[in-house]
Amino acid sequence: MTAVGWKPPPWLVWSTGFESSSSLKLGFVFSRLRNGGSAITLKSRGSLRIKALDGSRRVAVNGKVEDLNDKSTNRHASNSGKIPTRLSTVGNSRNIKWHECSVGKVDRQNLLNQKGCVIWITGLSGSGKSTVACALSQSLYQRGKLSYILDGDNVRHGLNRDLTFKAEDRAENIRRIGEVAKLFAESGVICIASLISPYRRDRDMCRALLPDGDFIEVFMDVPLHVCEARDPKGLYKLARAGKIKGFTGIDDPYEPPLNCEHKRGYGACPSEMAEVVVSYLEGKGYLQA
């Protein structure tokens, strides 16, 4: 049924969940869908402004389906006439859908008898990040708690092997590790990320990925001259000789945390620092489901 140039009565506007300006000239088409539902398509000779009322989930304006609850999603009708699937656009990824599972984060945490979180250890090269990370993992293991270390160098052997040490690649390196750490935390694992992560904004971005409290930042506050004297990989010597460019602490800045959960100064024993973090986890309830 079509009536071009006809102004719809109030009952039609209310029944479809739409509200329209009384000055518009509208037409409509009523159709029955294969799945037993029905649809009313509104048409206008001029511009058409439609507002959804309570109970409305989606509308078709000028032939385009829009989801009013989420501007970033689209709905694509299938040839079978089934209810359209909600698809999303995230960054450069289009037409993707988040799949839920009946086994959730709480179920996994109950299985492991612990709560997932991210312990982010940051500091200059040679400050002892990896040593503390291993000591912390060992301490948790002895308590029967599952953890996994995301070491900066180790991740660059695989997932991030395509990245350089330029500023933009370092930011992408941190972003990827932050997303992986989030997945570990959601699986119920205590994830220990150990990497320089020199830029404050990148660390804060990783913190924002997780619920409040689940990102625990540990700052290895060891002076540059101490780290350079240790130089376990010989990198400071190469940087001073100009053979490595953009090396943190030499010709690239390190931005210390402003509000970290823990700070380890020079001279602190790695095992003692690990126990401090473990005590923090116990106090916050992360070592039980």
CATH classification of the domain holding 131: 3.40.50.300
pLDDT, tens digit, 9 for 90 and up, residues 31-72: 555 555 555 655 555 555 554 444 444 444 444 444 544 444
Instruction: Give pLDDT, residue 43.
Output: 56
Residues 6+ apart with CB under 8 A from 24: 7, 44, 46, 48, 49
Q: In this model, does residue 7 exceed pLDDT 70? A: no
On whether residue 189 sits in a domain, the answer given is yes
| pLDDT at position 30 | 54
Say if 232 falls within a structural domain: no
Q: What is the pLDDT of residues 276-285, one digit of tens each?
A: 999 999 999 9
Render pLDDT for 164-205 as a digit per residue (tens, 0 to 9): 999 899 999 999 999 999 999 999 999 999 999 999 999 999
Q: Which domain holds residue 171?
A: 105-223+256-284
**Chain segment 119-175, per-residue pLDDT in tens:** 999 999 999 999 999 999 999 999 999 999 999 999 999 999 999 999 899 999 999
Q: What is the pLDDT of residues 246-275, one digit of tens each?
A: 999 999 999 999 999 999 888 889 999 999
In a domain, 248, yes or no: no
pLDDT of residue 267: 81
Domain assignment present for 268? yes
The number of domains in the chain is: 1
16 or 102: which leads in pLDDT: 102
Neighbours of 197 (CB within 10 A): 27
The pLDDT score that the predictor gives to residue 63 is 46
| Within-domain flag for 82 | no
pLDDT in tens, 62-75: 444 445 444 444 44
Taking every pair of Cα atoms in the chain, the longest distance, rounded to a whole number of angstroms, is: 85
Residue 197 known to be catalytic? yes
Q: Tell whether 1 is covered by a domain.
A: no
| Residue 46 maps to a domain | no
Q: Specify the higher pLDDT residue, 46 or 240.
A: 240
From the candidates 194, 197, 271, 279, give the one annotated as an active-site residue. Answer: 197
> What percent of the chain is predicted at pLDDT more than 70?
71
pLDDT (average), residues 232-256: 95
Q: Are strands 93-96 and 85-90 parallel, antiparallel or unpaired?
A: antiparallel
Structural domain contains residue 160: yes
> By the 8 A CB rule, do 152 and 244 touch?
no
pLDDT computed for residue 9 by the predictor? 47
